[in-house]
Structures are given as structure tokens and as C-alpha cells.
């Protein structure tokens, strides 16, 4: 399946629709989820056109991979939910239909600001 340039996160990356931005650098954009499931619910997405984690791991450069992993920790710290802040959070990526992925641009969810509960419901 080719990358769909019309997916909502591609539009956010192009600035065609707004987002509540938390952080941006050369490799990632992070913004608040429009439908938060926890007190803090952020998304971290790579700037490159990757459908999911498998696509990313196969096709992204080492710099992009490191940039995304770093981006998650940077955003968590900015939000005050990281271990640096004495707190904690959950990060997850849904992959394809069986994994519950709705938007076909790789994204990591960050949940925190409270105890996030059981891992899978
Ligand atoms: P997933 O099911 O893993 O693909 O998650 C997609 C997430 O994107 C959901 O949590 C949505 O609430 C969120 N979402 C969809 N549209 C937007 C948007 N325009 N801005 C921020 N978050 C969005």
C-alpha cells in the first residue's frame, strides 16, 4: 500500500490544517491529540512519509530513527510526564487495521498526567 498524501497528519505537516503544537525539530512534529484519552495525550510523528513502524524501520535513515526516538523523550519532558520529571507515561504505536491504526502516517501516542491503567483493554 503506497503512502497516502491526503492523510490528516500529512496535511498537518504541510500546514494545511492546524494542530496544537508541542514541539518540532528536523525529524519530528508533536501535537496534542484532538480526542484525548488521558489527562495528557500527545502524538509524535516523523516528518518523513512513513505509513507505520514497520515501514519506518525498513526505510528510514538512522538519523530519522534516532530523531524519532529522541523526540518522544523530548516531548515527554516538555509535558512534565517523563522520568526526568519524576513521573511516567505510556507510549504506543498502532500498526495497521489489526493494531487499531486509523491514520496511515506513523505516530506514537504519549499518555500520561495520571495513572494510565491496564495496557490492553
Ligand atoms: P490511531 O488510531 O493510532 O491511528 O490514532 C489516531 C489518532 O489521531 C487518534 O487518537 C485521533 O484522536 C487523532 N487525531 C485525528 N485527527 C487529528 C487531528 N486533526 N489533530 C490531532 N489528533 C488527531
Ligand 1 mean position, distance from CA 48 (Å): 17
User: Residue 30's beta-bridge partner residues?
Assistant: 23, 44
The predicted-structure confidence for 74-84, as pLDDT tens digits, reads as follows 999 999 999 99
Catalytically active residues, by annotation: 107
DSSP 17: S
CA distance 121 to 106: 22
CA distance 109 to 29: 12
Residue 55 located in a structural domain: yes
- The CATH number that applies at residue 89 is 3.30.428.10
Task: Out of 33, 44, 93, 105, give the residue to mutate to test ligand 1, the one with the largest number of ligand atoms within 8 Å of its CB.
Answer: 33
Residue 117 located in a structural domain: no
CA distance 66 to 37: 27
The predicted-structure confidence for 23-66, as pLDDT tens digits, reads as follows 999 999 999 999 999 999 999 999 999 999 999 999 999 999 99
Identify the domain containing residue 66 by its residue range.
8-112
Q: In Å, what is the CA distance from 61 to each residue of 27, 31, 75, 95?
A: 11, 23, 21, 20
Amino acid at each position: 500500500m503506497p503512502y497516502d498524501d491526503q492523510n490528516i497528519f500529512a496535511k498537518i505537516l504541510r500546514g494545511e490544517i492546524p494542530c496544537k503544537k508541542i514541539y518540532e525539530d528536523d525529524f519530528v512534529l508533536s501535537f496534542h491529540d484532538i480526542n484525548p484519552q488521558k489527562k495528557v495525550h500527545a502524538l509524535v510523528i516523523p516528518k518523513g512519509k512513513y505509513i507505520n513502524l514497520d515501514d519506518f524501520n525498513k526505510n528510514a535513515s538512522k538519523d530519522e530513527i534516532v530523531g524519532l526516538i529522541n523526540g518522544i523523550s523530548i516531548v515527554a519532558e516538555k509535558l512534565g510526564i517523563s522520568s526526568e520529571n519524576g513521573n511516567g507515561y505510556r507510549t504506543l504505536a498502532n500498526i495497521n487495521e489489526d493494531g487499531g491504526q486509523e491514520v496511515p502516517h506513523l505516530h506514537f501516542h504519549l499518555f500520561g498526567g495520571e495513572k494510565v491503567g491496564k495496557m490492553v483493554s
